[in-house]
């Protein structure tokens, strides 16, 4: 937080007249020109995505980007495909705008292209042809998976074959502590079929509420027609631009090893207390979440509140399930607590699961 405050102070001290002038008016509808210029350069450096600053729309967090794009491309009753388990915030937004959401099969690497195409064929035969696909390909929420480059290319082929746009949500892209990032859908395909969403909030602080999207001109214009008011907070944009211009690599190099330490503590807890129980869990290379799966027939959704009251929080899989499954699954967050609390929390979770007869 101190670095952000210093960046904001430096901007005010060095460009006081400009700041006063800009703060006297509402922000540009696309958001801060300086932050859009920085975002354009960052997308090129990090994701090999070429986009003009005027092709970037800054929003109040990636959630606003997703909401605007959903409204731009979705009519009530449209079938929208997601992963079998998908971020609950997006699932709720899709339902709010009356989409018919269907989860396509996944494994530990994310969407399975062959199963995705079979799902499209089945739904089309039922008169419910999918209109578009939403996916979190890097450090997926809630499962933690990263979709391999080869699968992305197959999915793009499928999307073109069936005329199905893709919205890729890369809000966790900066939170990688192991392995290599895969090519973005937008890098692999610039035909206009891919909408790219990302965020600065996860990288720096969720309270900043600063995200952005890139889409075709037609989709962007339509999305902006649903936007209320001007661009997002100008002070936040000053702070983010100033801080990241000088500190992006240092910040990631400091922050991500801490995330890794927290994840590894949770993994040790799972190995020590869940091995031999029939449970399985993901081993993410970044992001914030580990996905826990108990054997079929074990319902941990029904006991979630009792476990929470006893000291351990998790979100049951059913909260992420368009198809209504996931009762035996849970999203575990390692990003918030210390490594020690992550380990101890898993030990207590195992104890409570045994108490309730689900393990």
Query: Tokens 């100008």 label which residue?
Result: 234
Is the pLDDT at 213 greater than 80? The verdict is yes
Q: Label residue 322 by pLDDT band (50, 70, 90).
A: very high
Residue length of the chain = 359
pTM, whole model, 2 decimals? 0.92
Q: What is the pLDDT of residues 125-147, one digit of tens each?
A: 999 999 999 999 999 999 999 99
pLDDT tens, residue by residue, 5-46: 665 556 555 665 665 566 545 667 899 999 999 999 999 999
Chain-centroid distance of CA 311 in Å reads 27
Average pLDDT over residues 250-262: 93
Tell me how far the alpha carbon of residue 115 is from its chain's centroid.
22
Residue 73 scores a pLDDT above 80: yes
**Average pLDDT score, the chain:** 92
Q: What are phi and psi of 153, to 5 degrees?
A: -65, -40
Instruction: Give strand pairing partners of 118.
Output: none
CA dist., res. 162 & res. 227, Å (int) = 29
Which domains are assigned to the chain? 2-247 (3.40.640.10), 252-355 (3.90.1150.10)
Provide Rg for the chain, Cα atoms.
21
pLDDT at res. 28: 72
Q: Spell out a b/e string for 187-211, using b for 16 or more CB atoms within 10 Å of the CB, else e.
A: bebeeebbbbbbbbbbbbeeebbbb
């Amino acid at each position: 937080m101190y670095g952000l405050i210093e960046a904001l102070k430096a901007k005010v001290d060095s460009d006081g007249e400009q700041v006063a002038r800009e703060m006297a008016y509402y922000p540009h509808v696309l958001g801060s020109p300086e932050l859009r210029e920085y975002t354009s350069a960052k997308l090129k450096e990090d994701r090999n995505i070429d986009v003009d600053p005027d092709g970037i729309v800054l929003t109040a967090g990636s959630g606003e980007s997703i909401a605007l794009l959903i409204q731009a491309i979705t009519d009530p009753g449209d079938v929208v495909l997601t992963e079998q388990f998908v971020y609950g915030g997006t699932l709720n937004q899709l339902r709010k705008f009356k989409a018919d959401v269907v989860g396509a099969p996944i494994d530990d690497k994310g969407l399975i292209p062959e199963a995705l195409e079979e799902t499209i064929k089945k739904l089309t035969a039922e008169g419910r042809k999918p209109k578009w696909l939403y996916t979190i390909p890097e450090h997926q929420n809630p499962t933690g998976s990263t979709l391999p480059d080869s699968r992305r290319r197959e999915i793009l082929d499928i999307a073109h074959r069936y005329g199905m746009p893709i919205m890729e949500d890369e809000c966790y892209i900066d939170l990688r502590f192991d392995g290599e990032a895969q090519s973005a859908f937008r890098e692999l395909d610039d035909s206009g079929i891919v909408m790219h969403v990302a965020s600065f909030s996860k990288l720096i602080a969720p309270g900043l509420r600063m995200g952005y999207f890139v889409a075709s001109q037609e989709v962007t214009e339509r999305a902006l027609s649903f936007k209320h008011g001007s661009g997002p907070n100008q002070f936040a944009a000053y702070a983010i631009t100033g801080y990241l211009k000088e500190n992006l690599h240092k910040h990631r190099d400091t922050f991500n090893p801490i995330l890794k330490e927290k994840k590894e503590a949770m993994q040790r807890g799972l190995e020590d207390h869940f091995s031999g129980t029939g449970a399985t869990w993901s081993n993410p290379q970044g992001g914030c979440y580990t996905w826990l799966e108990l054997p079929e027939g074990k319902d941990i959704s029904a006991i979630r509140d009792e476990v929470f009251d006893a000291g351990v929080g998790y979100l049951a899989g059913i909260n992420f399930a368009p198809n209504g499954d996931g009762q035996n699954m849970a999203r575990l967050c390692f990003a918030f607590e210390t490594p020690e609390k992550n380990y101890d929390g898993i030990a207590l979770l195992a104890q409570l699961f045994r108490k309730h007869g689900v393990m």
